[in-house]
Amino acid sequence: MQENEGRMEVLRFAPSPNGWLHLGHACSALFAWETARALNGRFLLRIEDIDIGRCRPEYETAIYEDLAWLGLDWEQPVRRQSEHFADYEAALKRLRDMDLVYPCFATRKEIADAIAATGIPPRNWPADPDGAPLYPGLYKDISPAERSRLMWEGRSYAWRLDTARALAKAEEIAGAPLTFIEDGEGPNGETGRCAVRPALFGDVVIARKDVPTSYHLAVTVDDAIQGITLVTRGQDLFPATYIHRMLQVLLGLHEPRYCHHRLIRDTTGRRLSKSAGDMGLRELRAAGKTPADIRRMVGF
């Protein structure tokens, strides 16, 4: 790991309290905590609870309990995203003022219908790195009058990034094609200075219909506000860094380095998900496993 020119390194683990922690989380949390220790740095815990419908207080309590049981400690106070919507709204406003986002009134059904209307079978429609169909551009080019009419009617809307325009603007600001520094490895062995390819995501939602932010916006703003110098997380989030790096340039935020780590898989090679109950830390603990066993299971 490259030293940070004498500055104190700041790392974080940022779980979402929408399920119980499993071995995959333990791997990520231990990776960040151990790396912070090795670099003599600080370790922060952040609760990513913007998803008001799915996050539950008992999951948050369990995060604190499970991490403490694993032997981790972290600084106080813990930043909870649901308490900072004003920060994300300010960032969204900046993007609006730069004319890089547009309101999108589309429902899931409208998007599916628009894709069906192209005659291209849905399985052949391009998907983003998370597997979601690329947005077909509905409501992107409607007139200001039409936009006002829909708002007056009370139709709910998300804010989408005009990704091509945003990338062009970010490259103009940076004066060069955008890159980020990967200290670990992406899913295809990417390392060192990596090019960003946000077009893979199409026009992403930057603020949802129900909350004035999205994962991409909140994580980028928080990593900057908290002074994170090294973002560690699973390789599944490697492509998301394309969006985050672009947002950093557009919003004038500092550039952290990144270190993506390999994902824990179950015995069939499937990536662990929140529904993989058998790998839940609570279940493993109840079955008599110790923190040392968990470290061995995740390779520490």
Q: Which residues bind ligand GLU (CB under 6 A)?
A: 14-16, 48, 219, 233, 237
Contact 104, 138 (CB under 8 A): yes
CB of 46 to ligand GLU, least distance (A): 8
Cα distances from 20 to residues 13, 27, 61, 201, 279, in angstroms, run 15, 14, 10, 28, 10
CB 46 within 8 A of CB 63: no
For the bound state, the minimum distance from the C-beta of residue 219 to ligand GLU, rounded and expressed in Å, comes to: 5
**Distance in Å, CB of 48 to ligand GLU, minimum:** 4
CB of 54 to ligand GLU, least distance (A): 12
Paired tokens of 141: 């080019």
Closer residue to ligand GLU (CB): 16 or 229:
16
For the CB of residue 100, give the shortest distance to ligand GLU in the complex, in Å.
Answer: 22
Which CB, 115 or 251, lies closer to ligand GLU? 251
Q: Which residues of 7-43 are buried (b: 16+ CB within 10 A; e: fewer)?
A: eebbbbbbbbbebbbbbbbbbbbbbbbbbbeebebbb
Nearer to ligand GLU, 115 or 231 (CB): 231
Nearer to ligand GLU, 31 or 105 (CB): 31
Q: Which is nearer to ligand GLU, 4 or 235 (CB)?
A: 235
Q: Which residues contact 18 (CB under 8 A, 6 or more apart)?
A: 49, 51, 54, 55, 56, 59, 274
Selection from 12, 24, 21, 27 nearest residue 295 by Cα: 27
Check if the beta carbon of residue 91 is closer than 8 Å to that of residue 251. Answer: yes
The nearer residue to ligand GLU, 14 or 67, going by C-beta atoms, is 14
CA distance 227 to 247: 16
**Min CB(258)–ligand GLU separation in Å:** 10
- Rounded to an integer, what distance in angstroms lies between the CA atom of residue 197 and that of residue 239? 8
Name the minimum Å distance from CB 261 to ligand GLU: 11
Distances (CA, A) of 42 to 6, 234, 288: 14, 20, 31
Amino acid letter, 300: F
Q: Which is nearer to ligand GLU, 32 or 249 (CB)?
A: 32
